Structure 1
Amino acid sequence: MTDQTLRLALVAHDQRKDDLVAWARHHEPLLRDAQIVATGTTGGRLQDALPDLSIRRLKSGPLGGDQQIGAMIAEGALDALIFFTDPLSPMPHDVDVKALTRLATVYDLPMACSQSTATLVLEGLSRAEGA
């Protein structure tokens, strides 16, 4: 991380949005001081459920939000990507998901696709931030 404020991207496929909101609600104390960006609908759901969080809504994933997050990864503007994917549903914008995965790997950005890994990433970064 480049400063003391944790910078996170939160994204979820339609069938996983409720899971992401529940995860964020559970971890609200750690997310309260973070700068969060989220794709359109996901960001709206998070804002409605957790109005005290600082959430910048981007475009919807298929309409360019995934690319906006990809650009932020390439610019070093994020500390982690939390992307709750739905591996059981076909995605028309699957290439965008693969691009985010590729960029996170190329730029060595922590990326979590499930609740357990998201918790590990968030708690690990939060401990590093406080160190």
Structure 2
Amino acid sequence: MEFSYAYQESVIAKQKNIALIAHDNKKEEIIEWCLKNAEILKHHFLFGTGTTARMIAERTQLPIRGFNSGPLGGDQQIGARIVDGKIDIVIFFSDPLTAQPHDPDVKALLRIAQVFDIPIANNKATADFIITSKFMNSEYRHRLIDFERSVEERAEQLEEEVQKDELREDD
């Protein structure tokens, strides 16, 4: 028997909560990107992991709240904020050519952004598309999986299947 998810509408507000993350070899690139887009970014709430947040604050004067560095749980802190509905966009300049010791954390962050339908940029080109989107300075309505309702409906469906199996065994 197939199962389909239940959905609920969600709204990303006009003023966005943006996470800014960069691997070591990409920190200069994200700082340059922030400087280029400072006029837009200053109208939103910025968050970042460890050194990236500190460097952005020092070099751009943009206000940014810092979390732990990525290898010390910063990516997971950003992921937890996504789950809580407190991060709307992730800009993550990742280094695809260098192995990262916290790669499982990075993959978990990418997955949670996908599950919660959060725009995520993994490079400058995608970040440019996001920041110039017509939705950047307006509300954005989208559908999210209603996990609580979906779990309840799936549990009911499984219970019905068990009852049917038990009836067949009695025959």
Are 2:42 and 1:32 aligned?
yes
Q: Which runs of 4+ in 1 moved over 6 A?
A: none
Partner of 2:97: 88
TM-score under structure 2 length normalisation? 0.72
Gaps of 5+ in 2: 1-10, 140-171
What secondary structure, in the 3-state scheme, does the structure 1 residue paired with 2:68 have? coil
Kindly provide the amino acid, as one letter, of the partner of residue 109 in structure 1.
I
**Of the candidates 52, 69, 83, which is equivalent to residue 78 of structure 2?**
69
The structure whose Rg is larger is 2
- How much is the aligned-residue C-alpha RMSD, in angstroms? 1.2
Shift in Å at residue 5 of structure 1? 1.7
Identical columns (%): 41
- Deviations along 1:15-69, one digit per CA (max 9) or x if unpaired, are 0000000001000100011100000100011011111x22001111111111100
What secondary structure, in the 3-state scheme, does the structure 2 residue paired with 1:128 have? coil
- Deviations along 1:68-87, one digit per CA (max 9) or x if unpaired, are 00001111111100000000
| In 2: Cα distance, 1:107 partner to 1:113 partner | 17
Kindly provide the amino acid, as one letter, of the partner of residue 73 in structure 1.
I
Partner of 1:23: 33
Distance 1:45 1:67, change over 3 A: same
Partner of 2:88: 79
Gaps of 5+ in 1: none
Shift in Å at residue 127 of structure 1? 4.1
| In 2: Cα distance, 1:65 partner to 1:93 partner | 10
| In 2: Cα distance, 1:128 partner to 1:115 partner | 22
- Deviations along 1:91-118, one digit per CA (max 9) or x if unpaired, are 0100011001100110010000111100
**Of the candidates 12, 15, 20, which is equivalent to residue 10 of structure 1?**
20
| In 2: Cα distance, 1:2 partner to 1:90 partner | 33
| In 1: Cα distance, 2:89 partner to 2:123 partner | 13
Partner of 1:45: 55
Kindly provide the amino acid, as one letter, of the partner of residue 110 in structure 2.
T
